Amino acid sequence: MTLTYQQQFILDGLAGRAAILNLDARYDRLYSAGDLAGWIATFRHAGASFRRGGEEFTDLRAAFDGGNGRRLVTVDHEINVDGIDATQRCVALLFVGGRLRATGVFDDRLLYERGGWYFTSRALDWDPVPEPSRLAG
């Protein structure tokens, strides 16, 4: 059975989305485990960047702050696949010592190369921490 162009487009998009969700899970596990080399391998081979809280890193080694009881979980993924390019927006949850310490949003650009999806850039903006007096309402 031959697929129509539209069917193939939808199938490719779904396959890309599934692979990007797997990339996210791998990224989270490697970050949480403190595996610098594995974490860097989730980014494209050359020219990748990472931004966290306004600080831009082109040297991914300098950007890594994982491990040491820190656990990262990403949820609520919005993924758009367009051929070999994709964008993603997702929520980041950072746990330290089993307690939620921070929330934020990743804005990502991804590329399909070498048979898989890789981040070309990740931008993490942490949410502001509310003042305790504002929580009391």
With respect to residue 96, please indicate whether it lies within any of the assigned structural domains: yes
Token pair, residue 125, equals 């903006």
Reply yes or no on whether the pLDDT at 11 is more than 90.
no
As a whole number of angstroms, the distance between CA 90 and CA 50 comes to 15
With respect to residue 135, please indicate whether it lies within any of the assigned structural domains: no
Strand partners, 80: 87
For residues 75 and 93, the answer to whether their CB atoms sit within 8 Å is: yes
Domain CATH number, residue 66: 3.10.450.50
User: What range defines the domain where residue 60 resides?
Assistant: 5-128
With respect to residue 134, please indicate whether it lies within any of the assigned structural domains: no
Range of weakest confidence among 2-11, 19-28, 43-52, 96-105: 2-11
Q: What is the pLDDT of residue 9?
A: 83
| Closest alpha carbon to 24 in 133, 80, 108 | 108
Q: What pTM value is reported for the model?
A: 0.89
- Percentage above 70 pLDDT, the chain: 95
Q: What is the pLDDT of residue 132?
A: 65
With respect to residue 136, please indicate whether it lies within any of the assigned structural domains: no
Q: What is the pLDDT of residue 131?
A: 66
With respect to residue 98, please indicate whether it lies within any of the assigned structural domains: yes
With respect to residue 16, please indicate whether it lies within any of the assigned structural domains: yes
**Stronger pLDDT, 1 or 112, i.e. the higher one:** 112
Q: What is the pLDDT of residue 1?
A: 77
CB neighbours (10 Å) of residue 107?
Answer: 15
With respect to residue 106, please indicate whether it lies within any of the assigned structural domains: yes
Domain count, the chain: 1
